[in-house]
Amino acid sequence: MSESTEKKMVRLRSSDGEVFEVEESVAKVAKTLQDMLEEDCADAVIPITCVRAPILTKVIDYCKDQVMISSSSSTTNNPNERTEQERKAWGQKFMEGVDSSTLCELLVASNFLNIEGLLNLGVDKMVSMIQGKYPQEIRDMFNVVNDFTPEEEEEIRNQNAWAFERDPYYKKRSSSK
Amino acid sequence: MARRGKQPMHVAITDNFKKLPNDVIQHILSFLPLKNAAQTSILSKRWRHLWKELLKHANILEFGQGLASTLTREEYADYLDYILLNHKADKIDTFRIFFYPGLAYTEVARKWIEIVTSKEVEEIDLNFRGNPRRDKDQGLVASRTLKFLPDCFYSCSSITSLRLTSSAFLPPSNFQGFTNLRCLYLCGVNISGETITKIIDNSLVLISLEINACGPLNETRIESNLLKRVTLDCCWYAMDTTLYAPYIDYLNFVGRLSDMPELEDVESLREAIIHVMDELGPIGGENLFKFLKELRHVRKLDLILKCYPRHLLRRAPNITFRNLRELELHCFISQDDSEDIRLFFTGCRFPRMEKFTIRLPSGNLTWVSGVQTTFIHEESQAFLQFNFRRLRQIKIINFMGREHEMQVLELLLERSPILEILVLEFEVADALTEAITNRLWSMPRASPAAKIVLIS
């Protein structure tokens, strides 16, 4: 497919039908795509069935950045190279403003495409969002529907009572008669 | 049907986690504290068992007082059983329990200890005092837990930190100590001085030793080139203890004079907290002076005495604490005069002291002020001749403004030429009267710039 350009291009189709053309090196950041490309099915459009276009855009942004920082890493004095601190700050900025549903989609995408760095960023973000939250807060944040009956929920609470008691002087099972 | 969710039914709700595979969720949960992760069990049916995977691999297993206070003994035991029997990892880094086994759970608890010691546990904290609020059959803890710990515990060489509370430490005859032990804390443990000596002698890395209400410790020999911190707190039958620790940094002794360890080569000591619990008799005083003499290199000293052995004045110790920067005395001004403190400074010199704190006894509200007893002993002349040349900060806690307290204050202010700040903490707001403030401001001060701060 490449006529005059030296760089080989790869086409990806999101679940909602949008096609993205990216350099092969960018696509190869995703281990899943790397495996596919090495098995030589580069000519076709690769369907990414579980990732919507806006999410895929974000994923591609991430991959492009990875290519940029690693492209010249073999040469000395790479201006794009980052210290540990800078990497952290960049990751935070990248995940800034990502809402709960986008975050879950990003996790699905990075898991499916096997992009470890992005998955770690997502997991960190997720942990910071749910740590120390009450179950109801987590449900509200991520639209988790509580499919327990009140009786079932109470039963599970009692089974794991140690996890739900915050105040040591809280009377256990005071809510149930 | 009426779901419990608050959203109206016409809004399309999609569960954000819907497409996320279980293993990703479990990966996320593995970064949460166990308690937090377990709370996700009630999010929805899907989440009910997801967190449990964590239990199998956790290597920090802490079931401390917080947990114990929310469960009955039976529930606590069931829960621990459940976790330990399902635990899959080969290694446990930390294990902490707070549980009174009594007779009913002795075997169960021994089993737990067998499991964790077989997994190369490093930090182990076994508190068998249990929760007094829940357990009625308490009391004979020490005697009931005799012979309690299994032999595999005593041969567990992976232990680096051992905390043991309300138990008996009776190792088998082939006990070899714990080679990798760095920190030892014993509280309310029936242990012999000989066993402690054995533990100290056999560890290659022991740096911290804290023994609290243990015994009978007769003839304990604490001899180590590694020890940095030593606490001997209310141990029983602790006579003839010797402490030889050339690299010691911190020493805390609480107990009777007769149980004071004999100190040898402790010049590296920087901080000491000494609390003598008995009244100082004619013999005790000598012991105290001998002990204080060994502490003369410290930078920081907290001394808690009921009174200063003034009857020994003619043989005053004459100790100079060359390095001391901070001194704290508790209860040093007795009820009716300020003589103790004068005598103390006659016998002990602190040429480099910068910070001086007196903590007076609290809760003495019925004392009637106005009784004035001033006596300057001839022997105190030595005291009259020196100044607190480096003293920058004085603090008196539970100050009541009584006459003898004022006298002490006067003395200090007169002799501290570079004093920067004097802090008086009143125990009750009422004690801060106008008469006191007036007198305070009129006191002659060697350092006119010194600030006086009154806190009530």
Residue B240 pLDDT > 70, yes or no? Answer: yes
pLDDT at residue B131, rounded to an integer: 60
Closest residue in chain B to residue A157, using alpha carbons only: B42
Residue-by-residue DSSP string for B205-261: S--EEEEES-B--TT-EEE-SS--EEEEES-SS-TT-EEE-TT--EEEEEE-GGGPP
What would the two tokens of residue B320 be? Answer: 């100079």
* pLDDT 10s digits, A29-59: 999 999 888 887 656 788 898 899 999 999 9
Residue B408 pLDDT > 70, yes or no? Answer: yes
Q: Which residue has the higher pLDDT, B371 or B223?
A: B223
Residue B370 pLDDT > 50, yes or no? Answer: no
Burial B321-331, CB ≥16 within 10 A → b, else e: bebbbbbbbbb
Q: Do B16 and A131 touch (CB under 8 A)?
A: no
- Is B274 within 8 Å of B304 (Cβ atoms)? yes
**pLDDT (average), residues A163-171:** 51
**Spatial CB neighbours of B13, under 8 Å, sequence gap ≥ 6:** A143, A145, B5, B7
Which of A91-105, B66-80, B382-396 is most confident?
Answer: A91-105
* pLDDT 10s digits, B165-222: 988 899 999 999 999 999 999 998 989 999 999 999 999 999 999 999 998 888 899 9
Closest residue in chain B to residue A171, using alpha carbons only: B70
Residue B95's alpha-carbon distances to A90, B92, B98, B246, in angstroms, are 38, 7, 10, 32
**Spatial CB neighbours of B86, under 8 Å, sequence gap ≥ 6:** B52, B55, B56
Q: Do A168 and B15 touch (CB under 8 A)?
A: no
State which H helix or E strand residue B53 sits in.
helix B52-57
Partner-chain residue, chosen from A123, A135, A147, that has the shortest CB–CB distance to B39: A135
Closest CA to A45 of A11, A9, A8: A11
Task: Report which residue type is found at B441.
Answer: W
* pLDDT 10s digits, A85-128: 888 888 889 998 899 999 999 999 999 999 999 999 999 999 99
Closest CA to A122 of A101, A141, A109, A106: A106
B42 in contact with A, Cβ within 8 Å: yes
Q: How far apart are CA A118 and CA B62, in angstroms?
A: 32
> What are the beta bridge partners of residue B368?
none
Partner-chain residue, chosen from B19, B43, B66, that has the shortest CB–CB distance to A168: B66
Number of Cα atoms under 13 Å in the Cβ half of residue B153: 23
**Spatial CB neighbours of A63, under 8 Å, sequence gap ≥ 6:** A22, A26, A27, A29, A30, A115
CA B430 from chain centre, in angstroms, equals 33
Helical ranges in A16-99 per DSSP H = 24-27, 31-38, 53-71, 84-95
**pLDDT (average), residues B358-384:** 51
State which H helix or E strand residue B323 sits in.
none
Closest CA to B149 of B186, B203, B198: B186
Q: How far apart are CA B281 and CA A47, in angstroms?
A: 92
Residue B274's pLDDT band (cuts 50, 70, 90) = very high
Q: Which of B39-43, B137-141, B406-410 has the lowest mean pLDDT?
A: B137-141
* pLDDT 10s digits, A14-27: 999 999 999 999 99
pLDDT at residue B147, rounded to an integer: 61
Closest CA to B165 of B103, B211, B234: B211
* pLDDT 10s digits, B314-332: 666 788 999 999 999 987 6
Residue A80's pLDDT band (cuts 50, 70, 90) = low
A61 in contact with B, Cβ within 8 Å: no
Helical ranges in A72-115 per DSSP H = 84-95, 100-113
Q: Which of B24, B40, B134 to mutate to test the interface with A (most CBs of A within 10 A)?
A: B24
Residue B246 pLDDT > 60, yes or no? Answer: yes
Number of CB pairs < 8 Å for A and B? 114
Task: Report which residue type is found at A99.
Answer: D
Closest residue in chain B to residue A163, using alpha carbons only: B35
- Is B274 within 8 Å of B295 (Cβ atoms)? yes
Q: Which residue has the higher pLDDT, B432 or B140?
A: B432
Residue A171 pLDDT > 50, yes or no? Answer: no
> Other C-beta atoms within 10 Å of B343: how many?
21
Q: How far apart are CA A86 and CA A89, in angstroms?
A: 5
Q: How far apart are CA B167 and CA B126, in angstroms?
A: 9
Contacts of A132 in chain B (CB under 8 A): 36
- Is B329 within 8 Å of B357 (Cβ atoms)? yes
Residue B126 pLDDT > 60, yes or no? Answer: yes
Q: Do A134 and B31 touch (CB under 8 A)?
A: no
Q: Do A143 and B13 touch (CB under 8 A)?
A: yes
ipTM at complex level: 0.86
Strand order in the sheet with A9-13: A19-23, A9-13, A46-47
A163 in contact with B, Cβ within 8 Å: yes
What would the two tokens of residue A131 be? Answer: 């740590």
Residue A150's pLDDT band (cuts 50, 70, 90) = very high
Angle at B403 between CA B398 and CA B406, to 5 degrees: 65
Q: How far apart are CA B16 and CA B7, in angstroms?
A: 15
- Is B221 within 8 Å of B202 (Cβ atoms)? no
pLDDT > 90: percent of chain A: 50
Closest residue in chain B to residue A121, using alpha carbons only: B28
Residue B378's pLDDT band (cuts 50, 70, 90) = very low
Here the contacts of B55-58 (C-beta below 8 Å, separation 24 or greater) are: B55/B83, B55/B86, B55/B87, B56/B86, B56/B87, B56/B88, B56/B89, B57/B30, B57/B88, B57/B89, B58/B34, B58/B87, B58/B89
Strand B208-212 to B229-233 pairing? parallel
Q: Which residue has the higher pLDDT, B73 or A110?
A: A110
> Other C-beta atoms within 10 Å of A80: how many?
12
Q: Do A142 and B47 touch (CB under 8 A)?
A: no
**DSSP 8-state secondary structure symbol assigned to residue B175:** -
pLDDT at residue B345, rounded to an integer: 84
Global confidence as pTM = 0.72
Number of Cα atoms under 13 Å in the Cβ half of residue A24: 17
Give me Rg for the CA atoms of chain A.
22
